[in-house]
Amino acid sequence: MIHFLAQRLARALFVLFGVSVLTFVLIDLAPGEYFQAMRLSPQISRETVAALRIEYGLERPLPARYLRWLGSVSRGELGFSFAYNSPVWPLLRTRTGNTLILTFSALACSWLVAIPIGVMVASRAGRWQDRIFGIGTAFLQATPDVLIGLGVLALALRVRWLPTGGMYAPATSEIEGSGKMKDLVLHMVLPVLALTAGMLPVLVRHVRSAMLEVLDTPFITAARGHGIPPCRILFGYALPAAANPLISMFGLSVGALLSGSLLIEVIMSWPGVGPMLLEAILQRDPYVVVAVVLFSTLFLVAGSLLADVCLYIADPRIRVE
């Protein structure tokens, strides 16, 4: 177990290192930089801009800047944001929390809905329930995330049952405890709904196909022959046997949800890392871009690591290998 974990961790570290180098080089190749807009202003002299560039270390060669950035990572600062004039980590911390709240709620929701639907559909394969859900998932899968987000928002604006946009209502900033919690949950409904709707078709199709494969096997037929009730066969016998591909899917779905949540955050003005990344790219704030991209990688890697560990615990065959 320890050897297995160490191997995976080393790989994850290598990937994180690679991603940081990649983003660093890409951003360095980009034309234009944060101080370019300042140069156009007649009130700021050339010398000031040059001095600022030297102060922020932009005149140094790329490897030196990378090493300096690594140093700031080790201090837990993750670089320096020119636009906010502050280290990146304090800026990123609350944003990261907000994104994670959203992503994990959507993750839980989509799996909790997808498993029963997938199992139900698989148990009725070929019948009308299967057809209807097949057509439904095909349509939902063909609907781009942008459209789902905008559609959910438009619907919410029409009926006005739920608050749209942001995380808290402006007036509740003083309220503490359960009132604040309730406000947060109400604000979360729409983005979570949009994210779940985007994720659901893929998961349902996947649960269905994993279950179909298991339902064909002799031990299920034997269980049926013993007169075990169908519901127990499905959830007690077939689902655990189908768990393997689903667990690896779980790890992958973390990454898919992070991608989806970026867009939904921008559409629903959720104060997560998505809008921050967009802003940083538009402002040419390099270290914020690197930090956010690295954060997303970290969670994708952590998701697949978690899935690997779960697989290791769930499946004895992997342990032997």
Please tell me the distance from the alpha carbon of residue 18 to that of residue 20, in angstroms, as a whole number: 5
Contacts 24+ apart (CB under 8 A), 147-154: 148/194, 148/197, 148/198, 149/194, 149/263, 149/264, 149/267, 149/268, 150/267, 152/190, 152/193, 152/194, 152/197, 153/190, 153/194, 153/267, 153/268
Nearer to other proteins, 143 or 172 (CB): 143
- As measured in angstroms, the least distance from the Cβ of 304 to other proteins is 8
For other proteins, give the closer residue by CB, 48 or 315: 315
The residue (of 108 and 181) whose beta carbon lies closer to other proteins is 108
Closest distance between other proteins and the C-beta of residue 200, in Å? Answer: 12
Decide whether 119 or 292 has the Cβ nearer to other proteins. 292
What are the tokens at 291? Answer: 């930090």
Shortest separation between residue 60's beta carbon and other proteins, angstroms: 19
Nearer to other proteins, 2 or 142 (CB): 142
Name the residue nearer to other proteins (CB basis): 183 or 285.
Answer: 285
Residue 87: strand pairing partners: 80
The token pair that represents 262 in the structure block: 């970026």
Residues that bind other proteins (CB under 8 A): 11, 14-16, 18-19, 22-23, 26-27, 29-32, 138-139, 141-147, 150-151, 153-154, 157-158, 164, 202, 205-206, 209-210, 212-213, 245, 248-249, 252-253, 255-256, 258-260, 262-263, 266-267, 277-278, 281-282, 284, 289, 292-293, 296-297, 300-301
Report the nearest approach of other proteins to the CB of residue 280 (Å).
Answer: 9
Parallel/antiparallel/unpaired status of strands 80-81 and 86-87 = antiparallel
Rounded Cα gap, residues 148 and 207, in angstroms: 22
Which residues sit opposite 80 in a β-bridge?
87
